[in-house]
Amino acid sequence: MLNTASSAAENQGFAPALMRAVSRGTSDSTQLVSPEQRGYDLQQRTLARAVEFSGISVHSGLAARIFVAPAAADSGIVFITARHVRISAYVAHICFDPAGLCTVIGAGGDTVSTVEHLMAAFAACGIDNAEVTLEGAELPILDGSAQPFIDKMLDAGLVAQQQQRRFLRITRPFSYQGLDGQWVRFDPIRADEEGTLAVKIDFTAMIPAIGVQSLNMPIQLGALRSEIMHCRTFGLEAKRQEYQAYGRGLGASCANAVLYDGDRVLNKDGLRCDDESVRHKALDLIGDLFLAGWPLLGHISAFKPGHRTNAEALAALLESDCYTL
């Protein structure tokens, strides 16, 4: 049986479907773990020490600085704003973003923008628990990929914690139909099988140089880091100017995005790989889906994924009976 859900344009919120049980562990070990394992192990992980990231924010254009610190088992990923509001990185906290250019979470009157690349970095490193303290309301964009986040966090080291990691296991097929032909689909895996990620994009109309690209890869920590996390966000130079008219993309440049002018790549060093665009869309999808609170076990496929559709698909999945936790 195929379960489906459809986008409702007026649905601007994401109903809390499954609130993560927050119970703080107190018996974390200090066992350093290798980031190079093939799959997920059973123990939760956090960082061995705090790290700092700073740089420009892609949408506000303001300077940003964040500190990513170790956190207790079972606490999850928590963002802490300048006013000390704690916002769990959870799908129920996603805020509607009219432009759909980034993923925004909010609680207690505060918001945190552009969380997706750091969330992807956590997912690809198998980091379950961390506290992210911000000085502003948006994360730094760094080079437009997740690679700088990953490099510094792996350099700091990861530690295994004593509590077991939980997994959101897909048990029945579930698909979500978004706007403009977009869809995201989740399928179960057998007990002896690894999950796969399949993403297809079609930019033929908007950016012919990107055209149609597709990607199919295993969902393994090492593969996520080697195959997609270095791929940068991208856009049209003309759109960048349009977004700036209403205060978005104010910090965007060739230093933190691949910019296209018609079919021409404006970045003087070109692309990092021929299909960098679909790989970045896969990175975004992994980051957005980590707002489930735990890794997904299943086959994930998507056509023209975008932040809004990703969030709506995840919220709809969590309201379905197509998974176990």
**C-beta of 306: minimal distance to Zn ion in Å?**
10
**C-beta of 116: minimal distance to Zn ion in Å?**
5
Closer residue to Zn ion in complex, CB, 233/277: 233
Q: Name residues contacting Zn ion, limited to 223-282 (CB under 5 A).
A: 233
Residue 8 half-sphere exposure toward CB, CA atoms < 13 A: 9
Closer residue to Zn ion in complex, CB, 110/284: 284
Task: Using only the alpha carbons of the chain, give its radius of gyration.
Answer: 18
Closer residue to Zn ion in complex, CB, 59/299: 59
Q: Give the x/- contact pattern for Zn ion in 1-40, rule: CB under 5 A.
A: ----------------------------------------
Closer residue to Zn ion in complex, CB, 45/307: 307
Q: Which of 161, 159, 149, 123 minimizes the C-alpha distance to 51?
A: 149
Query: Which H or E run includes 287?
Result: helix 276-289
3-state secondary structure of 123: helix
Q: Which of 202, 207, 254 minimizes the C-alpha distance to 233?
A: 254
The residues carrying an active-site annotation are 307
Q: Give the x/- contact pattern for Zn ion in 149-168, rule: CB under 5 A.
A: --------------------
Residue 36 half-sphere exposure toward CB, CA atoms < 13 A: 1
**C-beta of 222: minimal distance to Zn ion in Å?**
21
Q: Name residues contacting Zn ion, limited to 283-312 (CB under 5 A).
A: 284
The span from the CA of 267 to the CA of 203, in Å, is 19
Closer residue to Zn ion in complex, CB, 46/310: 310
**C-beta of 85: minimal distance to Zn ion in Å?**
24
- Other Cβ atoms less than 10 A from the Cβ of 83: the count is 8
**C-beta of 312: minimal distance to Zn ion in Å?**
17
Size of the site for Zn ion (CB under 5 A): 2
Both tokens of 312, joined, read 């709506």
Contact 96, 103 (CB under 8 A): no
Residues in touch with Zn ion (CB under 5 A): 233, 284
